[in-house]
Chain A
């Protein structure tokens, strides 16, 4: 059984076919990159699968169950989490509290008054462990608004990770950070995701990053899947090269910008 399967998934905004008849199957443990030019529908696809947009038609099957009509909260509980292109953090809370929130959410025990007193050593230990995994232990007590862009990106991923998802969508986890930080952020994400056996779908523009970390690359264009395959296969695909960087030829992807 595949982890996630989308069947004829569609989402139109007026004349724009944001997600146009997408049939994608994702297996457990895969590290998938979703690439394509701006407006190809990558973020829209993530939004539909994580329930931020409702699909116009089609089905979303997660672990064999139809979750097409499930709310964001229900999908989070089922094991689908995501991070955002524009970092979504609780700016007035500390890094620690941000992570703790994700853990609280997962536990879902907020009804129990006795559990509301916070000195819960298990949550504290787990939140500290997560911060440590993402190299943010030193920033534990700093407000999220005071963190550097790269740290904010990592904290955003850490929040999604703390939900202990089976499938995580990371929407441009390295956008807006320096090239030097990019590698470090991706290394951290890849080691955590692979170490925990989490399935990840990463939206990414930097093809160097994409080729280096992905098991499989899915190329979207005008809302539809144009091609998919291993990094080696995609590297050879001239049509993909045309669409992504507007040039073809054997060296199309090694061009640095």
Chain B
């Protein structure tokens, strides 16, 4: 029973991180109709920046004066940095290509992926970076007769808050109405006098922030390593294929499914764990090509 609860929590932890990545990917696609292949690398960038800041001299200083609170305050720096990168990328690299066919979107974002991967190799080197001090500071709580890292529960909470926050922004705010209108018909939104370019920058920056946040919350538990972005991108695609690209609910449900299947896979069928995920994605594509929550 205890093992079961712990495995469930592990899948929620995993799902929370996946949701952050996939929700950003989905948001960007929903608004701009761009499949951002660089999304995984933006997640990795967030991880690297957060680990570098928290694990570096700034982190030591913050931890010295403020303790755990100081470190937690520094953790989102990676997400903010990625949002800033996004706010630069959208108007300079993506905007000139919106009117072009999709191949161009894939080419430019794939190029961006390569550049980001190399930039990270150049900036942070090949050594894994962690922000493990946060995990250590937070300690563990007993579940049954076992100990579970408190930090994992913290990440699950962040995932939930992010889901609720995004839902609130999209469905309950003025910005959300404008965002949904722009995503439905950018020409018409422009006709109404809405500033579509600004909405695009904001949406892209929010999507990047989500990816960066995913990276930031991961590094206290797992080190930032080269190649983590590609792996995350593929899993994020499995999530949005299952849930439906462009749907927030889809990203949430897809992340939960992938999280649960992956955890169960590691426990019960490690040899074919990834294969099972792809099979599920395939089945969804065959039965509902737009994903569980997607619209044609």
- By a beta-carbon cutoff of 8 Å, the part of chain A in contact with chain B is 52, 72-73, 76-77, 82, 88, 90-93, 97, 100-102, 104-106, 108, 110-111, 115-118, 120, 123, 159, 163
Encode contact with A along B179-197: 1 for CB under 8 Å, 0 otherwise: 0110011001111111100
Contacts of B194 in A (CB 8 A): 73, 101, 104-105, 110
Besides A90-B188, A91-B184, A93-B184, 12 other CB < 8 A contacts?
A73-B194, A76-B192, A93-B180, A97-B177, A100-B177, A104-B174, A110-B194, A117-B173, A118-B177, A123-B174, A163-B192, A163-B193
Which residue of the partner chain, among A72, A90, A118, contacts B174 with CB atoms under 8 Å? A118
Contacts of B174 in A (CB 8 A): 100, 104, 110, 115-118, 120, 123
Question: Which residue in chain B gives the minimum CB-CB distance to A91?
Answer: B184
- By a beta-carbon cutoff of 8 Å, the part of chain B in contact with chain A is 172-178, 180-181, 184-185, 188-195, 198-199
Which residue of the partner chain, among A88, A110, A120, A123, contacts B188 with CB atoms under 8 Å? A88
Contacts of B185 in A (CB 8 A): 88, 90
Which residue of the partner chain, among B173, B181, B195, B198, contacts A101 with CB atoms under 8 Å? B181
Question: Which residue in chain B gives the minimum CB-CB distance to A52?
Answer: B191
Q: Is the Cβ of A104 less than 8 Å from the Cβ of B177?
A: yes
Contacts of A115 in B (CB 8 A): 174
**A-B residue pair count with CB separations less than 8 angstroms:** 74
Query: 9 nearest interchain CB pairs?
Result: A76-B193, A105-B193, A116-B175, A118-B174, A118-B173, A90-B181, A105-B192, A105-B194, A97-B177
A123 to B175, CA, bound (A): 13
Which residue of the partner chain, among A52, A82, A110, contacts B195 with CB atoms under 8 Å? A110
Question: Which residue in chain A gives the minimum CB-CB distance to B295?
Answer: A92
Contacts of B173 in A (CB 8 A): 116-118
Quote the shortest CB–CB distance from B198 to chain A (angstroms). 6
Q: Is the Cβ of A106 less than 8 Å from the Cβ of B184?
A: no
Question: Which residue in chain B gives the minimum CB-CB distance to A77?
Answer: B193
Q: Is the Cβ of A159 less than 8 Å from the Cβ of B192?
A: yes
Quote the shortest CB–CB distance from B187 to chain A (angstroms). 9
Contacts of B198 in A (CB 8 A): 110-111
Question: Which residue in chain B gives the minimum CB-CB distance to A51?
Answer: B191
Contacts of A116 in B (CB 8 A): 173-175
A143 to B159, CA, bound (A): 30
Quote the shortest CB–CB distance from A161 to chain B (angstroms). 12
Contacts of A82 in B (CB 8 A): 191
Quote the shortest CB–CB distance from A158 to chain B (angstroms). 12
Question: Which residue in chain B gives the minimum CB-CB distance to A106?
Answer: B193
Quote the shortest CB–CB distance from A3 to chain B (angstroms). 19
Q: Is the Cβ of A72 less than 8 Å from the Cβ of B177?
A: no
A101 to B199, CA, bound (A): 13
Contacts of A101 in B (CB 8 A): 177-178, 181, 189, 192, 194
Contacts of B172 in A (CB 8 A): 118
Contacts of A92 in B (CB 8 A): 180, 184
Which residue of the partner chain, among B176, B184, B193, contacts A90 with CB atoms under 8 Å? B184
Contacts of A120 in B (CB 8 A): 174
17 contacts between A and B (CB under 8 A): A72-B191, A76-B193, A90-B180, A90-B184, A90-B188, A92-B184, A93-B180, A100-B174, A100-B177, A101-B178, A104-B177, A105-B192, A115-B174, A116-B175, A117-B173, A118-B172, A159-B192
A100 to B192, CA, bound (A): 11
Question: Which residue in chain A gives the minimum CB-CB distance to B169?
Answer: A116
Quote the shortest CB–CB distance from B14 to chain A (angstroms). 32
Contacts of A104 in B (CB 8 A): 174, 177-178, 194
Question: Which residue in chain B gives the minimum CB-CB distance to A113?
Answer: B175
A163 to B192, CA, bound (A): 8
Quote the shortest CB–CB distance from B183 to chain A (angstroms). 9
Quote the shortest CB–CB distance from B206 to chain A (angstroms). 12
Quote the shortest CB–CB distance from B46 to chain A (angstroms). 22
A82 to B192, CA, bound (A): 9
A97 to B179, CA, bound (A): 12
A72 to B193, CA, bound (A): 7
Contacts of A90 in B (CB 8 A): 180-181, 184-185, 188
Question: Which residue in chain A gives the minimum CB-CB distance to B199?
Answer: A110
Which residue of the partner chain, among B178, B180, B184, B190, contacts A110 with CB atoms under 8 Å? B178
Contacts of B178 in A (CB 8 A): 101, 104, 110
Contacts of A111 in B (CB 8 A): 198
Which residue of the partner chain, among A88, A91, A110, contacts B175 with CB atoms under 8 Å? A110
A93 to B199, CA, bound (A): 17
A97 to B174, CA, bound (A): 9
